[in-house]
Chains A and B, each alone.
Chain A
Amino acid sequence: MSALLEVEGVVRSFGSIHAVDGASFAVEQGSITSLIGPNGAGKSTLFNVISGFVRADAGRVLLDGSAIERRPAHAIAQAGLVRTFQTARVLARMTVRDNVLLATPEHPGERLLQSIVRPRRVRGRERAARALSDELLTLVGLQDHADALASTLSGGQRKLLDFARALMARPRLLLLDEPMAGVNPTLRVQLLEHVRERREREGVTFLIVEHDLELVMRVSDLVVVMNEGRVIASGAPASVSADPRVVDAYLGAPP
């Protein structure tokens, strides 16, 4: 296996706070990797740096070998690195289906002239996108809500919509920020199945920030542990959970 994402010595401060302080790790192609750590460890800031929403003060981020740390967020997404947000951010005054359709990559209809000059090509693409969006909404169990405004969804449903929307963007690497927060236990298991299935069927690589440790240990190939802006351990779930530094920093005193 080779690394799809490499994070090398990333530093990012806000004023005197070193949110990320020289973090380095790699995400293997086709893996499910989890990024864990106590609150304030710098996971969210690191997510923002990787996805281009926050500029790193120093360090490099490589996607498939090419540097992305200076590229704007939309260009990083186009390169195949797609993220979700910690609190599901749905486009409230748009329908659930439009939320998903919006993520269609390279849609010719998003160029105003193409809609006028080549309407048939645009309509064809839109039909295909609609079919795929219906499929994804069925996958996350939101098919009955497709025509409702996204503002009518519950917190957990919004998380699922966020997930379906991110999949619509056809990611190679999907960064999920606390995908299980607010999702009920039955749906969690389903969501996890979807993650596994996407990995098996389409080779999507996952990097997940998650607080549900039991779940993290069960699903991940590799766990990266952060504390105070640095990576303090990484490895297979079993070895990480036995690491005394991790126990110390994250899990609290041993029982």
Chain B
Amino acid sequence: MSTIASGDFWAFVGVVAGIYALLGLGIQLEFGFAGLLNFGHVAFMAIGAYTMAILVVKLGWSMWIATPLAVVAAAAAGVALGLPTLRLRADYFAIATIAFSEIVRYVATNEETLTGGSQGTINLAGAGQAASYNGDWDRFESWVQSTLRLGSKDAAMLAIVWLVALASCTALWAAGRTPWGRVLRGIREDEDVVSSLGKNVFAFRLQALAVGSALAGLAGCFYAWQFSFFSPADFAPLLTFFAWMIVILGGLGRFFAVPVGAVVFGVLFAGTRFFDFAPFAWFDSAERAYLRLMLIGLAIIGLILFRPQGVLGRREELVLD
């Protein structure tokens, strides 16, 4: 196959992996540190993407103002979800979050005047007028490309996404080493002990959820720019579980494990499409697309059997008593 050597194709895989890394960082903070089972993470990605697109298209705002506001909107949505649900037991919280993410998706599908409905952002400016939110972004991308003398726009995108992902990762790593991060890790271990020592567990969890949601909102903006068009169908629950797979593949409790997990996931996910040899050749390409999900599932099962701490995790931290 010719595409296997194509730089463009692998740049695309790298960009998507970078976006997933941002998404996974939120899960790592929320679960790997604060012990929160958030199965509705994709909702905050959708809220970030839609807020950015709506502000740019409907209000004509600059992307540079709309994007920070989109990130704030995602964080605020995290707080709004957390206030009534964070006192629930872990499993009920998980159910509430997945319900929330479906509610967000259904609202985006049905509030056609606000979101463009099921046709997606192309419909944002109303019927018959193809809307685009990408103008500022394209200019920025071209600027980065010419400044760094990169061969293609895809390469510029790759550089920007990974710069942001690694900067976020470093910032979270630093935050995880502060006393704030210590309290979060304590909550993951035993929340009763942490409250017996005078720490407001609820407030710390709310902060973790807000920061994690903000990261998902940022991932949503990058997703929007990368594909220059999106619709509610892009934010199905599957995406949340991709982020979970990345965190589990990389290793729980370590921020720098997330980019590693994202790359492994991206390569597995994209690489399986080149499996045109037997026994994969027995299936047609559409069937092979499903096959790769099974292969990733098998890879995770194998990983949990033989290296449960993930690629970068520490095994002794996994052993409970």
Contacts and interface: CB of A to CB of B under 8 A. Distances in A.
A151 B321 CA distance: 6
B193 A89 contact: yes
B182 A92 contact: no
Contact of A78 (B182, B188, B198, B316): B198
Contact of B198 (A77, A89, A122, A151): A77
Contacts of A165: 197
Interface string A85-104: 10001111110001001111
A187 B185 CA distance: 30
Interface in A167-192: 168-169
B179 A101 contact: yes
Contacts of A151: 316, 319-321
Given A77-B197, A82-B196, A110 B190 contact: no
Contacts of B6: none
Contacts of B207: 112
Interface in A97-145: 98, 101-105, 107, 109-112, 115, 122, 126
Given A92-B320, A94-B185, A102-B186, A122 B179 contact: yes
A233 interface: no
Nearest to A91: B189
Contacts of B190: 89, 91
B189 A74 contact: no
Interface residues of A, number: 38
Contacts of B113: none
A164 B105 CA distance: 49
Given A91-B190, A115-B175, 11 more contacts: A53-B192, A53-B195, A74-B200, A82-B197, A85-B196, A89-B193, A91-B193, A92-B189, A94-B189, A109-B179, A122-B179
B65 to A, nearest CB: 23
A82 to B, nearest CB: 7
B50 to A, nearest CB: 27
Contacts of B149: none
B199 interface: yes
Given A92-B321, A115-B178, A151-B321, A73 B196 contact: yes
A98 B319 contact: no
Contacts of A91: 185-186, 189-190, 193
Contact of A102 (B183, B317, B319, B321): B183
A51 B317 contact: no
